[in-house]
Homo-oligomer: A and B are copies of this chain.
């Protein structure tokens, strides 16, 4: 812990619970016809149950790759990934994913797209419909429930994809830049909404984001990654009190943390240049 400005008493006590994800010495190399790319190398990470972890890092550093490995959609080239103590063997229904690209099906309406996971899981239709209606209302898409994705703006599609990821009320949530295409206001509204939902239910959440304020505001832990090939530069526990809200961002500790992270991200490359 080389963070002298951290008050150690605020740190969560070391958990004895089995982590939801245990990642150890993971690296990932993509091999294609046009060449190989080392995307991740030497990743060690534990995500305890009920924690909210954010990943920040340069574009192309392997954040999405890491998320896909945790989701069971990509295999790590090297290393070990355990999910609740057992070797990961593919995706699980407990884990819900919000993809970086929205992946809405153009032949389904927004509502049908959002309901898709609940239908595949065979969840009771009426209850799911109500939950979905609530999610759509929350994300300002209630008027567009019957529209096809092609009739939505970029940000609206992202919101619909987020609703879909939340529709099954999953134990574990993996979100890849869910607020990337959103304006400042909508982004803030939705991220606070997500924060409220999470603080109520204490599911496990992993969020990839480019917004450092957002990462600090929402998370228990922020993982900072280096540019490609992705390594973990630092794992920063966020010792801000909960529940958090808009006001949390006004705390001096908040500014301290965000500036520390900003420095981590900005300095190495600046020095190199």
Residues of A whose CB lies within 8 Å of any CB of B are 30, 32, 34-35, 37, 56-60, 62-65, 100-101, 109, 140, 146-148, 151-156, 158-159, 176-177, 180-187, 210-212, 262, 265-266, 269
Contacts and interface: CB of A to CB of B under 8 A. Distances in A.
A35 B159 contact: no
Nearest to A154: B100
A194 B158 CA distance: 26
Nearest to A152: B60
How many copies of this chain? Answer: 2
Contacts of A154: 59, 64, 100-101, 176-177, 180
Majority-rule SS of A interface residues: mixed
28 contacts: A32-B147, A32-B148, A32-B151, A34-B109, A34-B147, A56-B183, A56-B184, A58-B183, A58-B185, A58-B186, A59-B155, A59-B181, A59-B182, A59-B183, A59-B186, A60-B152, A63-B153, A64-B153, A65-B153, A154-B176, A154-B180, A177-B181, A184-B210, A184-B262, A184-B265, A184-B266, A185-B269, A187-B210
Given A153-B64, A154-B101, A210-B187, A34 B146 contact: yes
Given A60-B155, A181-B210, A182-B210, 13 more contacts: A30-B151, A34-B148, A35-B146, A56-B184, A59-B140, A59-B153, A59-B158, A59-B183, A60-B140, A64-B154, A100-B154, A180-B181, A183-B265
B155 A184 contact: no
Of A59, A181, A262, most B-chain CB atoms within 10 Å: A59
The 3 closest A-B CB pairs, nearest first, are: A59-B155, A183-B210, A100-B154
Contacts of A100: 154, 181
A110 B158 CA distance: 25
Nearest to A153: B60
Contact of A151 (B37, B147, B159, B266): B37
A176 to B, nearest CB: 8
A76 to B, nearest CB: 17
Nearest to A39: B153
B60 A156 contact: yes
Contacts of A152: 60
A62 B181 CA distance: 14
A181 B176 CA distance: 10
Contacts of A146: 34-35
A183 B57 contact: yes
A74 to B, nearest CB: 13
A91 to B, nearest CB: 20
A146 B33 CA distance: 11
